[in-house]
């Protein structure tokens, strides 16, 4: 099977990545990270969320982050849990909002304190109100390949939630392997099941790399025809409400893989590595990205921008 010639990457580091980091960054630093990611060619960036700062203190002051972030040639999205969050997002000038459902009843109740059906009823109002103001809405589905509390998740349930999100007006649905338990064939079958009720161009994938399967899972989904991939710079993140969840698949690793496959992303790997190095310096941690680690081995420091010891000119996707 062939893969898409072009893949759109949705950078989730400034929200899904930072929300699970111990070091809390100021709005100014978060905005600078977004600016660097945009300069690398990422045109869709999750900038933050309007959830309770008590529950997720890392996302406090998202309105200030949006006010400081670049707005040209980039679409900034924010997560909103309800109409109150939407009002804050609209006031802050968000380009896009996202709502967060689950394919697991137990996870839904522990994460957002309501059943799946109750969450969809709530989100239908949020999406309708956002569209009334001309703001696009994206739908997330967590635990599509496994729940930290209940184990396996039925792909039919994933398809049902995806269908509901699209019917209420979401332009796209992102399928999230929240705890990273998926493998290529289950991931592929899950996407194929969802594709029965949703056009492939409205499906995105969102893999965490807990068991090292994220890139393989992405490739399996590309073969089905998916062309939108969520990822997080430097592999930042996890989920504060999902025990055992590792970080998101690293954007650097996704871009490297796609470049070597001859797939266009519009992203500069060098500029992306610089953005990841900046984030890791501010967070006082090493990158989880294998590509960033490989470049660091050449240059000496995992939190420094890429050096001149890049791949030789003869090293290209046809080797």
Tell me which residue of 38, 96, 100 sits closest to 69, measured CA to CA. 38
Please identify every residue annotated as catalytic. 239
Q: Which two tokens stand for residue 230?
A: 């969520």
Q: Give the Cα separation of 203 and 206 in Å (integer).
A: 10
Tell me which residue of 135, 129, 209, 202 sits closest to 165, measured CA to CA. 202
Measured in whole angstroms, the distance separating CA 178 from the mean position of its chain's CA atoms is: 10
- Taking CA atoms, 259 is separated from 25, 277, 300, in Å, by 31, 20, 24
Q: Which two tokens stand for residue 102?
A: 């689950």
Q: Give the Cα separation of 259 and 254 in Å (integer).
A: 9
DSSP state string for 40-66: TT--EEEEEE-S-TTT-GGGTTHHHHH
Residue pair 226/190 in contact (Cβ under 8 Å)? The answer is no
- Taking CA atoms, 280 is separated from 29, 173, 277, 301, in Å, by 12, 29, 5, 11
């Amino acid at each position: 099977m062939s893969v898409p010639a072009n893949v759109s990457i949705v950078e989730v580091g400034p929200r899904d990545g930072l929300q699970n980091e111990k070091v809390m960054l100021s709005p100014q630093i978060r905005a600078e990270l977004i600016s660097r990611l945009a300069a690398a060619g990422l045109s869709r960036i999750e900038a933050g969320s309007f959830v309770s700062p008590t529950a997720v203190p890392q996302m406090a002051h998202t309105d200030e982050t949006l006010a400081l972030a670049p707005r040209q040639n980039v679409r900034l999205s924010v997560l909103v849990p309800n109409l109150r969050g939407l009002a804050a997002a609209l006031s802050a000038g968000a380009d896009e909002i996202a709502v967060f459902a689950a394919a697991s009843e137990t996870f839904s109740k522990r994460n957002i304190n309501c059943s799946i059906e109750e969450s969809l009823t709530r989100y239908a109002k949020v999406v309708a109100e956002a569209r009334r103001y001309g703001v696009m809405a994206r739908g997330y589905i967590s635990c599509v390949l496994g729940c930290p509390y209940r184990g396996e998740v039925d792909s039919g349930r994933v398809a049902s939630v995806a269908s509901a999100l699209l019917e209420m007006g979401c332009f796209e649905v992102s399928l999230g392997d929240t705890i990273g338990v998926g493998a290529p064939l289950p991931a592929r079958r899950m996407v194929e099941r969802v594709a029965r009720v949703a056009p492939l161009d409205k499906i995105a994938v969102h893999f965490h790399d807990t068991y090292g399967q994220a890139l393989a899972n992405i490739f399996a989904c590309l073969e089905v025809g998916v062309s939108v991939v969520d990822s997080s710079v430097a592999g930042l993140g996890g989920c504060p409400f999902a025990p055992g969840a590792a970080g998101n698949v690293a954007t650097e690793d996704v871009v490297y893989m796609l470049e070597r496959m001859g797939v266009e992303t519009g992203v500069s790997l060098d500029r992306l590595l610089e953005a990841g190095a900046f984030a890791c310096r501010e967070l006082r941690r090493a990158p989880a990205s294998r590509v960033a680690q490989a470049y660091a081995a050449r240059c000496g420091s995992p939190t420094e921008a890429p050096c001149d010891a890049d791949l030789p000119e003869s090293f290209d996707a046809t080797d």
